[in-house]
C-alpha cells in the first residue's frame, strides 16, 4: 500500500484538553448519550464525512470536522485544542481509515472508545490489500453504506429520532443514486474514454464514469507518497499529455508541486482538459453538491475532447 502518513502534533497536553472537556456539556463518555444541548456530538476526520453526518443526523447532531478547509493538506495535520476537546466529547467518530487519516486514531487514543468510531474503509467491501486506493469517499456505493451505518449509530444514541435518521439516509442515498445515474450516462455516451491522474484520489469516480487510467503507476505512486518522480517517469507522463491518447487530466490541486505543475502545463498546451479534484469539501458545499459538480466537470471535459476530435 502506497500511502503518505499524516503526522500529528499536539499543541497542548492531553490532560489540559481533557480538563477543558470537563468544563462544558457534551456526551456522557461512558454511555454516549446526547449532550446537554440535546444534540449528538460527532467528530469526523474531514469535512467530507462531517457533511455526510450532518445530512443523516440533521438538527439532531452537532458535528466537528477536524480538517475543514479546502486548501488544507490532510497528509500533514496539526491538532488543536478544539479538536482534542471535540474528540473527548464525541458519541460518534468517523474516520476514513486505510492509512489516510492516521492522525484520527492518534488523537482519539485513550479518549474515544474505538467501538464508537466508524471506519469507512471497513464498510467499503473493497479489497484493502496491496495497492488499495484509500480515497473511498469517491466510491459512491461506499457512501450509501456509510449513510446506513450512521443512521444506525445515531439511532442507538437517540432512539427518539430513529425515523428521521432513516428518512435522511434514504434521501441521501437517493441523491447518491442521481450522481451514479449521471456517471452511467457519461460511460454510455463516451465509451472507451481515458484519463491521466496526478494521484489516485478521484479514481473510483472516474472508473464509475467508464474512464480508464493511462498514467504511469510510478508517477501517481511517487506523488501520493510525497516523493520525487523519477526523471524518466516524469518525461513519460509529460509525453502522455502530448500523445493524444488521454481525454482529460484529473488533477489534485491540494497537493500541487513542481512535477504535477509540469504535467498540468503539458496537458494545457496539448489541449487536454484539466479537471480539478480535491480531498476536502469546498467552503459552503455539501457532499452531494460537490459530487454533482465533479460529475458535471467530467461531462464538460469529455464533451470538450469530443468536440476537439471532430
187 contacts: CB under 8 Å, gap ≥ 6: 208, 209, 210
Segments making up each domain of the chain, as ranges = 14-177, 190-309
In this structure, what are the phi and psi dihedrals at residue 277, rounded to the nearest 5 degrees? -125, 160
Residue 109 CA to residue 57 CA, distance in Å, equals 25
Q: Which fold has domain 190-309?
A: Rossmann fold (3.40.50)
Angle at 284 between CA 62 and CA 149, to 5 degrees: 45
Do 190-309 and 14-177 fall under one CATH topology? yes
Asked whether 104 and 45 are in contact (CB, 8 A), the reply is: yes
Output the tens digit of pLDDT for each of the chain's 310 residues.
334 444 444 443 333 333 333 333 344 443 456 654 789 999 999 999 999 999 999 999 999 999 988 777 666 777 788 999 999 999 999 999 999 999 999 999 999 999 999 999 999 999 988 889 999 999 999 999 999 999 999 999 999 999 999 999 999 999 999 999 999 999 999 999 999 999 999 999 999 999 999 999 999 999 998 899 999 999 999 999 999 999 999 999 888 999 999 999 999 999 999 999 999 999 899 999 999 999 999 999 999 998 887 6
Decide if 17 contacts 85 (C-beta within 8 A). yes
Query: 174: which 3 cell numbers?
Result: 437517493
Question: For residue 50, which of 101, 114, 12, 5 has the smallest C-alpha distance?
Answer: 101
Strands in 249-252's sheet, in edge-to-edge order, are 212-213, 194-197, 249-252, 274-277
**pTM beyond 0.85:** yes
Domain 14-177's class?
A: alpha beta
Q: Are 46 and 280 in contact (CB under 8 A)?
A: yes
What is the pLDDT at residue 268? 97
Q: What is the 3-state secondary structure (H, E, C) of 204-229?
A: HHHHHCCCEECCCHHHHHHHHHCCCC
* Residue 221 dihedral angles phi and psi, to the nearest 5°: -65, -45
Amino acid at each position: 500500500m502506497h500511502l503518505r502518513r499524516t503526522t500529528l502534533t499536539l499543541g497542548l497536553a492531553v490532560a489540559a484538553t481533557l480538563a477543558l472537556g470537563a468544563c462544558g456539556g457534551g456526551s456522557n463518555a461512558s454511555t454516549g448519550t446526547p449532550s446537554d444541548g440535546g444534540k449528538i456530538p460527532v467528530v469526523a476526520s474531514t469535512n467530507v464525512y462531517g457533511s455526510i453526518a450532518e445530512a443523516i443526523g440533521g438538527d439532531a447532531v452537532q458535528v466537528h470536522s477536524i480538517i475543514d478547509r479546502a486548501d488544507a493538506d490532510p497528509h500533514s495535520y496539526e491538532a488543536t485544542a478544539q479538536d482534542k476537546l471535540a474528540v473527548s466529547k464525541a458519541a460518534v467518530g468517523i474516520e476514513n481509515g486505510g492509512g489516510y487519516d492516521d492522525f484520527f486514531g492518534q488523537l482519539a487514543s485513550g479518549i474515544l472508545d474505538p467501538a464508537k468510531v466508524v471506519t469507512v474503509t471497513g464498510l467499503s467491501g473493497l479489497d484493502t490489500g496491496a495497492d488499495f486506493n484509500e480515497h473511498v469517499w469517491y466510491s459512491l456505493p461506499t457512501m450509501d453504506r456509510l449513510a446506513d451505518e450512521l443512521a444506525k449509530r445515531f439511532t442507538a444514541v437517540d432512539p427518539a429520532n430513529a425515523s428521521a435518521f432513516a428518512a435522511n439516509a434514504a434521501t441521501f442515498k437517493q441523491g447518491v443514486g442521481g450522481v451514479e445515474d449521471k456517471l452511467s450516462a457519461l460511460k454510455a455516451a463516451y465509451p472507451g474514454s481515458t484519463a491521466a491522474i496526478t494521484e489516485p484520489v478521484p479514481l473510483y469516480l472516474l472508473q464509475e464514469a467508464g474512464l480508464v487510467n493511462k498514467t504511469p503507476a510510478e508517477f501517481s505512486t511517487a506523488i501520493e507518497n510525497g516523493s520525487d518522480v523519477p526523471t524518466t517517469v516524469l518525461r513519460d507522463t509529460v509525453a502522455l499529455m502530448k500523445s493524444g491518447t488521454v481525454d482529460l487530466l484529473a488533477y489534485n490541486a491540494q497537493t500541487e508541486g513542481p512535477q504535477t505543475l509540469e504535467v498540468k502545463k503539458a496537458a494545457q498546451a496539448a489541449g487536454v482538459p484539466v479537471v480539478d479534484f480535491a480531498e476536502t469539501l469546498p467552503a459552503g458545499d455539501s457532499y452531494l453538491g460537490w459530487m454533482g459538480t465533479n460529475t458535471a466537470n467530467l461531462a464538460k471535459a469529455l464533451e470538450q475532447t469530443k468536440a476537439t476530435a471532430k
